[in-house]
Amino acid sequence: MMVDAEFMRRIASAAAAETLPRFRRLEAVENKLAGGFDPVTEADQEAERAIRALINAEFPDHGILGEEHGSENLGNSHVWVIDPIDGTRAFISGLPVWGTLVGLTVDGDAVAGLMSQPFTGELFYADGKGSHYQGPGGPRKLAVRKTTSLANATMFTTTPSLFKGEMRKRYDHLETQVQLARYGTDCYAFAMVAAGQVDIVVDPGLKPYDIVALIPIIEQAGGIVTTFEGGPAENGGDIIAAATPELHAAALKVLMG
């Protein structure tokens, strides 16, 4: 299914109208997790509300799964998956590496999506025919770089501390195999795979709204996104994105033993 680029831009603009005025001007952060820290802000909640309003007006028969305001009509074939601010920790720290994620699944498959970073003025989106960029430097079509060797690869993860027990040992071993390893940046790292700047992202424990929008952006730029078991990533879990099948296989061989 094709999704109109103009509708993508409308979603990005509606979300930015709620997030940008609150960025670096936070007055309140709520914690959603009793035994730890899972922050949510007014910007998260209001941005998702704005996105939902647009989708409901344009596609009233589509379902919606959102991080902040729950689900509606999930039994429908077309379901939009929303993370109004992916990288809330970066947002509340004043770092412009968070993004608004909105993806569309059809019968469970992610077919279109966007990642908007309004502070830097960037929009990454996949419309069903390809993966595209708008922002500084002008519009262009996105394409992964053709790295096939771990020794030449740049790899990101949110933080190695997310890997537990034996998996932490395997992650640490994988890190020794790549040319450059960096941490953080949440959805931005995945967008950089599509842009040809990063070769691998490995992130355990993702929710559907953390990854659905990014799957088509990477896949339609020529990359691959799966679980660590090699299955579909739409339902979240332990996720790997890679620029090439060869790199994907090499990284998984180290991670899974």
Residues within the annotated binding site? Answer: 67, 83, 85-86, 210
Closest CA to 213 of 43, 11, 68: 11
In which element (H, E) is residue 106 found?
strand 99-106
Spatial CB neighbours of 90, under 8 Å, sequence gap ≥ 6: 96, 97, 98, 184, 185, 186
Residues 198/247, Cβ–Cβ less than 8 Å:
no
Binding residues for Mg(2+): 67, 83, 85-86, 210
Residues 103/124, Cβ–Cβ less than 8 Å:
no
Length of the chain, please?
Answer: 257
Residue 15 DSSP code: H
- Amino acid identity of residue 215, one-letter, is I
Q: What is the Cα 157 distance to its own chain's centre?
A: 12
Tokens linked to 246: 């060869």
Residues 243/147, Cβ–Cβ less than 8 Å:
yes
Closest CA to 203 of 187, 179, 192, 223: 187
CA 182 – CA 41 distance, rounded (Å): 26
Residues 132/140, Cβ–Cβ less than 8 Å:
yes
